[in-house]
Amino acid sequence: MIADHEKGYFTEETSAEVVSARNNSCDNVRLRNCVNILVKHIHAAVKEMEPTQDEWLKAIMFLTETGHTCNDWRQEFILLSDTMGVSMLVDAINNRKPTGASESTVLGPFHVADAPELPMGSNICLDGKGEPMMVRGRILDTSGKPISGAKIDVWQANDEGFYDVQQKGIQPDFNLRGVFRTGEDGSYCFRGVKPKFYPIPDDGPVGKLLGALGRHPYRPAHFHYILQAEGFEMLITHIFDPDDPYINSDAVFGVKKSLMAKFQLVDAPEQFAGSSFDEPFYLVEHDFVLVKE
């Protein structure tokens, strides 16, 4: 017998409505709405694609393999969300900022929560590999006032495109990571190495899918920031090298124009003599603007 709340028997035409009606007695309104929206769009997609049974099984097996590839340190579903642009869409929806505020981008899987807090100006490169780089700027509020006591958590891949956590035993622990705190003038400064483009983990089902779609797995050279200050919204973001070959085709769609900063080569001896560098280095300057809570 068809219950009162049902919309009749399931047919190709009524499929989404019939399934959604079955959820009517769910008292978690948010869950019901979200599931019904998914049902509506998935049914519409299936009607448009008209998959064969074999194709549908292939899709199921892809998702199964995606799940099997996840473990404590690898999240293949997030990678799928990243490469399909969904992570950046969720980020955009949750980080609508006023004009002039710094923009956010994806967190990525390589943040480590307990990186050491270092004196401002420290070198986060612990193995001396790569071309030296200095990064500096200020943390400001939207009226241009410096924010003191802001916490700056930075991390980057090395000159070969690997994070320390991907090369345990090869790179020192906490290589190219550090936490800094601004003083009264809101300025920050640290030393690292010029980052290089690198592939997202592409030896699993998501990498295979990208290959089948004719897409490369690379992210343009960047370094990551999490900025936090009392009374301000947290900002998760990157700085990108505008001259990177992949700057216009980031595998995870994380690039924004406002997040590019020139990597200027300081190579004239009179420029670096007397500085903390005794060799040419790259200088990256970028100010961040945080929004009040």
Select the binding partner of residue 193 from Fe ion, ligand BEZ, none (C-beta < 5 to 8 A, by kind): none
Select the binding partner of residue 88 from ligand BEZ, Fe ion, none (C-beta < 5 to 8 A, by kind): none
Select the binding partner of residue 109 from ligand BEZ, Fe ion, none (C-beta < 5 to 8 A, by kind): ligand BEZ
- Please say which residue, 109 or 280, places its beta carbon nearer to Fe ion: 109
- Count the site residues for Fe ion by CB under 5 A: 1
Distance of closest approach, residue 120 Cβ to Fe ion, in angstroms: 23
Specify the stretch interacting with Fe ion by CB under 5 A; choose among 16-24, 86-94, 103-111, 264-272. Answer: 103-111
Q: Which residues of the shown chain bind ligand BEZ in the complex (CB under 6 A)?
A: 79, 82, 106, 108-110, 200, 219, 252
* DSSP symbols for the chain: ---TT--SS--TTTHHHHHHHTTTT---HHHHHHHHHHHHHHHHHHHHH---HHHHHHHHHHHHHHHHH-BTTB-HHHHHHHHTTHHHHHHHHH----TTSPPP----TT--TTPPB--TT-B--SS--S-EEEEEEEEEETTSPBPTT-EEEEEE--TTS--GGGSBTTBPTTTTEEEEE--TT-EEEEEEE----EE---SSHHHHHHHHTT---EE-SEEEEEEE-TTB--EEEEEE-TT-TTTT--TT----GGGB---EEE--HHHHTTSS-SS-EEEEE--EEEPB-
- Please say which residue, 179 or 206, places its beta carbon nearer to ligand BEZ: 206
Select the binding partner of residue 146 from Fe ion, ligand BEZ, none (C-beta < 5 to 8 A, by kind): none
Binding mask 105-124 for Fe ion (x = CB under 5 A): ---x----------------
Kindly list the residues in this chain that would bind Fe ion in the complex (CB under 5 A).
Answer: 108
